Amino acid sequence: MFMDSLWIMMADARNRELIGELLSTRYNVDFPEEGEISNKEISLCIIDGYNITKNYESIANLREMNKDVHLPLLLVTSKEEVGFLTNNLWKIIDDILYIPASKAEVFARVEVLLRVRRLSMEVLRLKNLQLSDTRKKLQLTEEKFKLLADNAQDIIYRYELYPEEIFSYISPSVERITGYSPEDFYKDYNLRMTIVKEEDRDLLSYKSCDDIKKPVILRMIKKNGDVIYTEHHNSPVYDRDGRLIAMEGIIRDATEREEFLKKIQHDLEEKKVLIRELYHRTKNNMNVIISLLNLKAESFESDVIQSFVQDMSLKIYSIAMVHEKLYQSQDLTNISFDEYIRDLSTSLAECFDMSDRGIVLKFDLDPVNISFDIAAPCGLVINEIISNAFKHAFTGRDSGEIFFSLKDIKDGYLKLEISDNGIGMPEDLNSRMYENIGLQTIKAIIENQLAGKMNIISEQGTKFIFIFSKNVYKSRI
């Protein structure tokens, strides 16, 4: 049994495999390489926005070579991406499948375009017959096409613009969708405008012929007063002189899909509110812990205990600030790392009264967004380094500088440098590495938790150099 051959050209591997697996149950499915575009005969090309832009010339040439038999193009895209297509691409697109889509909708779109293809082939065959036989069979084909249109689920219509505005055809499905019969539209051509909600009527005021071919969503008022969403696909019809004389198109009931999209948007907004509240409460709880620690520390006279509590409080504060930044962030998963470094280091400097000791902070930071899983451990590293610098780097000095550098280097890696112009580290730094809890903590965070590398240089002060990927962890949201 003959099976139609379909090309699937989609950049998204998952969508390509899902649609290919679904359609392979009924059709021959092929995934052409770029060089194969002009070498095979196919019945339908299913393509996404990336590939139709990339292969526009090859597809246009293929159509030109086989212009007697129409090659349908089904564009698979999302509602958000469709606005990026240029006018010349709209000229070669026959229909659009918005994803996500049901199996039934995928098969319906494909079958309608294949029927158009078959009708095109039938017309070509009839042209090669004797004139009398051709006319007879062409009439039969037209009757079949009308039968197809009459039984279609979508509204199929032709609206004449010249010499007068009338509906020359509108399918019976219009009554099921709008409540108005085809005769209602034949009697009152302006009904096409009056059933559209007043707020949406401007969308029917096309500025150019190219605008006619762009799909549009309109709200319509049914005969019983209910409001439905309808998706319109129109094609301009010209006479031999290039004058626009009619519009042909398809109107599809998109109410269920639009309501589903609204529900998704509502659920997403609700999720954002809950996540923001979680970040906010976490930050507040951490601040409560800091206050309790400080309150308890006041009951001890030991400087060791006081110093320990301060260190713990600052570590908790560095993580609490990450939650605060996430609460303020737009996408709830990433924060501005450069802003976080600046704010955290400035707050720590105030805690240690660095300005009173003449110690200033300087910054050279690239704008970078990172996830919570990166920001939190980096905050602990920054806290540890600033604490050590305050305690040890400027002993016997009345001024100093701490410099922060953040660079977004190639392949998704970050380079963070924190340096001071203090007295430097001991010469036997390597042998003392495993005796210093602070250095052990920094090393463990960078190398184990962030899978990065660290280097310490002690020349005219101390410089910490860290290199790690900003994509160590996948986004959770």
pLDDT tens sequence across 360-395: 899 999 998 888 778 878 888 888 888 888 877 887
Q: How far apart are CA 344 and CA 132, in angstroms?
A: 87
Q: Quick one: pLDDT at residue 69?
A: 78
Q: Which of 303-307, 324-328, 342-346 has the lowest mean pLDDT?
A: 324-328
Pair of tokens at residue 277: 């509240």
Q: Quick one: pLDDT at residue 434?
A: 46
Q: Quick one: pLDDT at residue 477?
A: 47
pLDDT category at 458 given cuts 50, 70, 90 is confident
Q: Quick one: pLDDT at residue 371?
A: 82
Handedness of CA 168, 173, 175, 179 (dihedral sign): negative
- Indicate whether 436 pLDDT > 70: no
- How is domain 262-469 classified at the CATH fold level? Heat Shock Protein 90 (3.30.565)
- Which residue matches tokens 């910054």? 363
10 burial level (CB within 10 Å; 0-12, 13-18, 19+): buried
- Indicate whether 476 pLDDT > 60: no
Output the furthest CA–CA distance in the chain (Å, rounded).
113
100 burial level (CB within 10 Å; 0-12, 13-18, 19+): exposed
Q: What is the pLDDT of residues 329-361, one digit of tens each?
A: 556 467 788 888 888 888 777 777 777 778 889
Residues of the chain with CATH 3.40.50.2300: 1-102+123-136
Q: Quick one: pLDDT at residue 66?
A: 72
Q: Quick one: pLDDT at residue 367?
A: 92
Average pLDDT over residues 265-273: 69
Average pLDDT over residues 90-99: 85
Classified as helix, coil or strand, 451 is coil
Q: What is the pLDDT of residues 133-159, one digit of tens each?
A: 656 666 666 666 666 666 678 998 999
Residues of the chain with CATH 3.30.565.10: 262-469
DSSP state of 196: B
With a pLDDT cut of 90, the percent of the chain lying above it is: 18
The domain over range 152-253 is classified in CATH as 3.30.450.20: yes
Strand residues in 271-412 grouped as ranges (E): 334-336, 359-365, 369-371, 400-409
Q: Quick one: pLDDT at residue 473?
A: 59
Q: Quick one: pLDDT at residue 417?
A: 94
| Contacting residues for 54 by C-beta, under 8 A, at least 6 apart | 34
Query: In what helix (H) or strand (E) does residue 416 lie, and over which residues does it extend?
Result: strand 413-420
Classified as helix, coil or strand, 76 is strand
Average pLDDT over residues 193-204: 89
Average pLDDT over residues 392-419: 87
pLDDT category at 37 given cuts 50, 70, 90 is low
Summary count for the chain: helices (H), strands (E)? 16, 17
Closest residue by Cα to residue 347 from 332, 377, 325: 325
Mean pLDDT of the chain, nearest integer: 80
Q: Quick one: pLDDT at residue 196?
A: 93
**Superfamily name and number for 1-102+123-136:** Response regulator (3.40.50.2300)
With a pLDDT cut of 70, the percent of the chain lying above it is: 75
Q: Quick one: pLDDT at residue 208?
A: 64
DSSP state of 4: -
Identify whether 236 is preceded by a cis peptide bond (ω within 30 of 0): no
Residue 116, CA distances (Å) to 43, 147, 172, 394 in order: 10, 13, 20, 81
Identify whether 367 is preceded by a cis peptide bond (ω within 30 of 0): no
pLDDT category at 49 given cuts 50, 70, 90 is confident
Average pLDDT over residues 97-120: 88
**Which one-letter amino acid corresponds to residue 138?**
L
**Which one-letter amino acid corresponds to residue 69?**
V
Q: What is the pLDDT of residues 159-198, one digit of tens each?
A: 999 888 999 989 889 999 999 999 999 999 899 899 999 9
Q: Which of 32-41, 122-131, 165-174 has the lowest mean pLDDT?
A: 32-41
Q: Quick one: pLDDT at residue 433?
A: 47
pLDDT category at 319 given cuts 50, 70, 90 is low
- Indicate whether 400 pLDDT > 80: yes
Q: Quick one: pLDDT at residue 191?
A: 92
Q: How far apart are CA 27 and CA 22, in angstroms?
A: 9
Average pLDDT over residues 283-292: 67
The DSSP secondary structure of 368-382, one letter per residue, reads: -EEEHHHHHHHHHHH
Q: What is the pLDDT of residues 229-247, one digit of tens each?
A: 999 999 899 998 888 899 9
Q: Quick one: pLDDT at residue 199?
A: 92
Q: How far apart are CA 430 and CA 428, in angstroms?
A: 6
Q: Quick one: pLDDT at residue 334?
A: 77
Q: How far apart are CA 233 and CA 216, in angstroms?
A: 7
CB 372, CB 315: distance < 8 Å: no
Residues of the chain with CATH 3.30.450.20: 152-253
User: Over the Cα atoms of the chain, what is R_g?
Assistant: 34
pLDDT category at 468 given cuts 50, 70, 90 is very high
C-beta atoms surrounding 197 within 10 Å: 11
